[in-house]
Structure 1
Amino acid sequence: MLAYSIRRLITALPTLFFGVSLTFFIIRLAPGDPTDRFLTPSMSPKIKAAITEKFGLNEPLPVQYMTWAKNVVLNFDFGKSFANGREASQVILDALPYTLLLSSLSLLFGVLLGLISGVYSALKAGTRTDRAITSFLLFFYSVPSFWLGLILLGIFSIELGWLPGSQISSIFHERLSFFGKIGDYASHLVLPVLTLGLTTAPVYGRFVRSSMVEVLNSDFIVSARARGLSERKVVFNYGLRNALLPLISILGTSFPALFSGAVIVEVIYSLPGMGRVMVDAALGRDYPVIMAASVVAFIAVIIGNLLADIGYAVADPRVRIGDSS
């Protein structure tokens, strides 16, 4: 397993290199100049040239790329943010925990909701209950996350006032007790987690339902029932474990969608995660921060796919990762 993981990480390096390189050239070839925010009509061309040189934008594009790549590979240095002068890597590291927390909680909620709805829908296949659950899942699958976020924000925060609608904590957060701080964080995360979880749960629910229906009609399930086993044991001990295999395989591959959804949700609820950082960096043409965020995103996708392969092998002993036979 360890040898396979190492091989997968090594073979993923060309993908990481190509994706990051493509991002580097795209953002620099896009219209606009990151120095415009520092200029005024009264500034002389010499001042503009000095600012451009300070940011290293006066060099030809291939030279800029080689300089950036050398600094990243040798020193893990993405450069300093054009906006505030901070190290771009530190800007991302400060925001990353919030995005990981939101993504993890949303993934847990989405998987649980999809698992419960998918299994129950499969057990009631062909009935009105099955059609109702399917309609519920299809509705949230088709709803854009930003639209759902705005609706939940308007209802539960603005109209009813039950939940906070922005930021990760209250202004009096530091005066709260330890458990009070946890409750404060939790209340601020309810709406973002609901928004992201409800839009991702249908994917898992539909996969679980189709897989569960197929498994429940398999010969080994018929044999288990013929042996006199209880329906509960047949469903959960025999059917569910086999039905979970497709779910495990899509967890890693669905991570990019979850990550991009977190970016949108963080902007809606003004959370201090990577979503807000990436949007601000894109609008301000902050190249170092954009590149640092892109590298983190590519690495997260690669790790997600690797974990999906490992999880599939753990869940199904018949699979032997890396076995050429």
Structure 2
Amino acid sequence: MRDYFLRRILLIPPTLIGVTLIVFAITRFVPGGPMERAIMEAQIADASQGGGGSGGARGGEGTGLSEDQLNELKAYYGFDKPMIVAYFSWLGKLVRGDLGVSTRYQDSVWSQISQRFPISIFYGLTTMIITYGICIPLGMLKALKHRTALDTYSSILVFCGYAIPGYALGSLLLLFFSVELGWFPMGGFKSIYFEELSLWEKAVDIVDHAVLPLICYLVGSFAVTTLLMKNHLMDNMAADYMRTAVAKGVSFKSAVFHHALRNSMIPIATTFGQNVSLILTGSFLIETIFDIDGIGLLGISAVLDRDYPVVMGIVFLSSLLLLLGNVISDALVALVDPRIRFK
């Protein structure tokens, strides 16, 4: 098993290189990049001054920029080199811990991401803890109380939550609880006077701002995790080994918790790795509605603004988390199911 996980970890670097190389190539060919934006701004400035584009010398004709200025722009944004050379230049900086400089904020990419790390980690970890902490026991209870009133009413609530998109629910929650009732803030991660509060008041303020966004984060994952747990537990409760255990004198409760439950945790452990990457990315739609300055909102803003260094930084980190999460999932599966031996 040790050799298997060692091979999986050694496969992470080449996989990351493949993912980032594909994304880097796409950024080189997608129109509307930073070069085009700089040329457009120069054209607008030239037109407002009545130049009519005459400021462009040979090589930059019609762009409002001279040939030397165009060459400087290409060098600044890294478009003066062939794609593969520029990629390995970016990769060399990455190895040294340098994710580049944002073309929008004129600040290091790592600084922009690290400023939003606490927010994304807070919502990501809280969502995972609440989801697994509630959905697993609820799924077990629904399986044991199948076709009872508890199972029926909880299924209605779970499916209603799953049917409503998180961002649509967020708009309704803001309208009712923030605008109409005034119970919760309109958005943000903390109040503007946060630094003046005591430690307890700071905790209350963060919770106050987090209630509505967390509801939106949780509605979708609740149904999937709950029903995954319920359905697999019911399948295992109907398996032959359960009837054999009960026939040999093991109580039904003991057979469920010591045999069926452990086997039912395998699909939960399998999907755990996919959820790890959500700690970083989150949901840009929910972050937009609640004005949460997280990494998800930063990523979609970088795509729309063609801020390619930020895009590459977020792609690298989210891919790394996903690959590590898959390794963790394999470890959890081996821990839950002793029959599995990785060779």
2-structure distance, mates of 1:165, 1:235: 45
Task: Establish whether residue 309 from structure 1 lines up as the match of residue 312 from structure 2.
Answer: no
Preserved contact between residue 281 and residue 295 of structure 2 (Cα < 8 Å): no
Residue in structure 2 matched with residue 57 of structure 1 by the alignment: 79
Query: Which of 194, 204, 210 is residue 173 of structure 1 equivalent to?
Result: 194
Residue in structure 1 matched with residue 102 of structure 2 by the alignment: 81
Residue in structure 2 matched with residue 42 of structure 1 by the alignment: 45
5 Å matches for 1:158-307?
158-226=179-247, 232-256=253-277, 260-307=281-328
Amino acid at match of 1:267: T
Return the offset for 1:269: 1.6
Q: Which moved more, 1:18-27 or 1:146-155?
A: 146-155
- TM-score normalised by the chain length of structure 1: 0.88
Amino acid at match of 2:102: S
2-structure distance, mates of 1:281, 1:203: 30
| Greater length-normalized contact order (CA 8 Å, ≥ 6 residues apart) | 1
2-structure distance, mates of 1:22, 1:124: 49
- Computed over aligned residues only, the root mean square deviation of the Cα atoms, in angstroms, reads 2.5
Unaligned 5+ residue runs, structure 1? none
Amino acid at match of 2:301: D
Identical pairs, percent: 28
SS in structure 1 opposite 2:11? helix
Return the offset for 1:3: 4.2
The 1:259–1:139 alpha-carbon spacing in structure 2 relative to 1, beyond 3 Å, is farther
Residue in structure 2 matched with residue 71 of structure 1 by the alignment: 93
Unaligned 5+ residue runs, structure 2? 47-63
Q: Which moved more, 1:264-273 or 1:209-218?
A: 264-273
Q: Which moved more, 1:195-204 or 1:139-148?
A: 139-148
2-structure distance, mates of 1:166, 1:49: 44
Preserved contact between residue 34 and residue 77 of structure 2 (Cα < 8 Å): no
Query: Which of 155, 158, 161 is residue 134 of structure 1 equivalent to?
Result: 155
Preserved contact between residue 118 and residue 208 of structure 1 (Cα < 8 Å): yes
The 1:5–1:285 alpha-carbon spacing in structure 2 relative to 1, beyond 3 Å, is same
SS in structure 1 opposite 2:45? coil
Preserved contact between residue 184 and residue 209 of structure 2 (Cα < 8 Å): yes
SS in structure 2 opposite 1:42? helix
The 1:165–1:310 alpha-carbon spacing in structure 2 relative to 1, beyond 3 Å, is farther
Q: Describe the superposition over 1:236-271 as per-residue Cα deviations: whole angstroms up to 9, x where unpaired.
A: 344323322221111113445675543332222222
2-structure distance, mates of 1:224, 1:154: 54
Task: Establish whether residue 10 from structure 1 lines up as the match of residue 4 from structure 2.
Answer: no
Q: Which moved more, 1:20-29 or 1:156-165?
A: 156-165
Preserved contact between residue 267 and residue 275 of structure 1 (Cα < 8 Å): no
The 1:144–1:59 alpha-carbon spacing in structure 2 relative to 1, beyond 3 Å, is same
Preserved contact between residue 110 and residue 198 of structure 1 (Cα < 8 Å): no
Matched residue pairs, number? 321
2-structure distance, mates of 1:243, 1:197: 22
5 Å matches for 1:92-103?
92-103=113-124
2-structure distance, mates of 1:166, 1:221: 50
Residue in structure 1 matched with residue 59 of structure 2 by the alignment: none
Return the offset for 1:139: 3.3
2-structure distance, mates of 1:48, 1:191: 48
Structure label with greater radius of gyration: 2
Q: Which moved more, 1:239-248 or 1:257-266?
A: 257-266
Return the offset for 1:13: 2.6
Preserved contact between residue 123 and residue 279 of structure 2 (Cα < 8 Å): no
Amino acid at match of 1:22: I
- TM-score normalised by the chain length of structure 2: 0.84
2-structure distance, mates of 1:286, 1:91: 12
Return the offset for 1:158: 2.2
Amino acid at match of 1:304: G
Preserved contact between residue 145 and residue 261 of structure 1 (Cα < 8 Å): no
Amino acid at match of 1:34: P
Preserved contact between residue 120 and residue 279 of structure 2 (Cα < 8 Å): no
Task: Establish whether residue 20 from structure 1 lines up as the match of residue 20 from structure 2.
Answer: yes
Query: Which of 114, 118, 122 is residue 139 of structure 2 equivalent to?
Result: 118
2-structure distance, mates of 1:312, 1:55: 45
